[in-house]
Amino acid sequence: MSKVPPIILNNGVEMPQLGFGVWQVPDAEAETAVATALEAGYRSIDTAAVYGNEEGTGRAIADSGVPREDLFVTTKLWNSDQGYDSTLRGFDTSLSKLGLDYVDLYLIHWPAPAHGRYVDTYKAFEKLLADGRVRAIGVSNFLPDHLEHLMAETSVVPAVNQIELHPHLQQHTAREYHAERGIATEAWSPLGSGKGILEIPAIVAIARKHGRTAAQVVLRWHLQLGNIVIPKSVTPSRIEENIDVFGFTLDAEDLAAISALNEDRRLGSHPADVN
């Protein structure tokens, strides 16, 4: 079984560098998918209130027999729950659906700038952190401008910013901004949602050279850059394949070939537009 190395977050908490994402997995299937992932050796699970599968995720965790302290569970507050009091209520709901008494990482899902509530939301996150109900707090889909405003108004530097990141959207500016401030970069849709990226000839050629799959090469590229990754799959063989990425190394030529694929092209929404 592969051992996933940790990233040390800015408050000293260890987060596995590779975890399991469950976006678009219906609640009934999440239980099986998360159970398969835990069996395969994943110890970090990424869900969100809006995914509607915190209950299935929680059932799989409860039934797994894996000690709670060996797991790293992330969930996210949805946009309509932003605001101080509504955040505290939203957190209670997520925790109860997960069947847990704390989460490891709590993220603001989108800045939703038109509502102007992410600073108040984050102040509630700081209270959850101070109360020991979350081990680390962070954000998702925040642009550097949003982070700048947030950090001017609050005291805890976000531990993580989870953003869309894959070979067609390499996020150089954001990654550099995060690195300078001790914020870990977590890549969502690390495989480009399985569309297109895995057929790019340069990636297929690197996979052939190493006797690996295209998905493994893309995940390895993220890991060697220092990104946290959370690939999603409901296919048992892929769940295993995606964590079996610690037995080979991409060389400088491979990394350069993947770097050259950046097109600054998003698959998902622009953070300024989601409210």
Ligand X SMILES: NC(=O)c1ccc[n+]([C@@H]2O[C@H](COP(=O)([O-])OP(=O)(O)OC[C@H]3O[C@@H](n4cnc5c(N)ncnc54)[C@H](OP(=O)(O)O)[C@@H]3O)[C@@H](O)[C@H]2O)c1
Phi then psi for 110, rounded to 5 degrees?
Answer: -140, 150
The H helix count followed by the E strand count for the chain is 10, 10
**15 contributes a contact to ligand X by CB under 6 A:** no
Q: Least Å distance between CB 134 and ligand X?
A: 17
Query: In whole angstroms, how close is the CB of 227 to ligand X at the nearest point?
Result: 12
Q: Which stretch binds ligand X (CB under 6 A): 18-26, 54-62, 200-208, 254-262?
A: 18-26
Q: Computed over its alpha carbons, how large is the radius of gyration of the chain?
A: 18
- Residue of 42, 51, 118, 177 marked catalytic: 51
Contacts of 174 (CB under 8 A, 6+ apart): 143, 144, 161, 163, 185
Answer yes or no whether residue 233 interacts with ligand X by CB under 6 A: yes
The percent of the chain in helix, strand and coil, each rounded to the nearest 5, is: 45, 15, 35
DSSP for residue 4: P
8 A C-beta contact, residue 14 and residue 8: yes
198 scored as a contact of ligand X (CB under 6 A): yes
Whether the Cβ atoms of residue 109 and residue 50 lie closer than 8 Å to each other: yes
Q: Does 210 bind ligand X (CB under 6 A)?
A: no
**Closer CB to ligand X, 154 or 162, in the complex:** 162
Q: For residue 51, indicate whether it is catalytic.
A: yes
Do residues 200 and 261 touch, judged by C-beta distance below 8 A? yes
Stretch that binds ligand X, among 54-62, 199-207, 225-233, 248-256 (CB under 6 A): 225-233
Q: Does 21 bind ligand X (CB under 6 A)?
A: yes
User: Measured between alpha carbons, how far is 175 from 16 in angstroms, rounded to an integer?
Assistant: 18
Q: Which of 10, 238, 255, 262 binds ligand X (CB under 6 A)?
A: 238
Question: Minimum CB separation from ligand X for residue 35, in Å?
Answer: 15
16 near ligand X (CB under 6 A): no
Count of alpha carbons within 13 Å of 148, Cβ hemisphere only? 5
191 binds ligand X (CB under 6 A): yes
Tell me the C-alpha distance between 79 and 83, whole Å.
Answer: 9
Total residues found in the chain within this entry: 275
Q: How far apart are CA 89 and CA 123, in angstroms?
A: 14
**Which is closer to ligand X, CB of 128 or CB of 207?**
207
Site string for ligand X, 124-143 (x = CB under 6 A): ----------------xx--
**Backbone φ, ψ for residue 45 (5° rounding):** -125, 135
| Binding flags for ligand X, 71-110, as an x/- string (CB under 6 A) | --------------------------------------x-
The nearest distance, CB 154 to ligand X, in angstroms, is: 20
User: Of 21 and 90, which CB lies nearer to ligand X in the complex structure?
Assistant: 21
Chain residues in the site for ligand X (CB under 6 A):
21-23, 46, 109, 140-141, 162, 188-194, 198, 213, 215, 230-235, 238, 241-242, 268
> Catalytic amino acids?
51
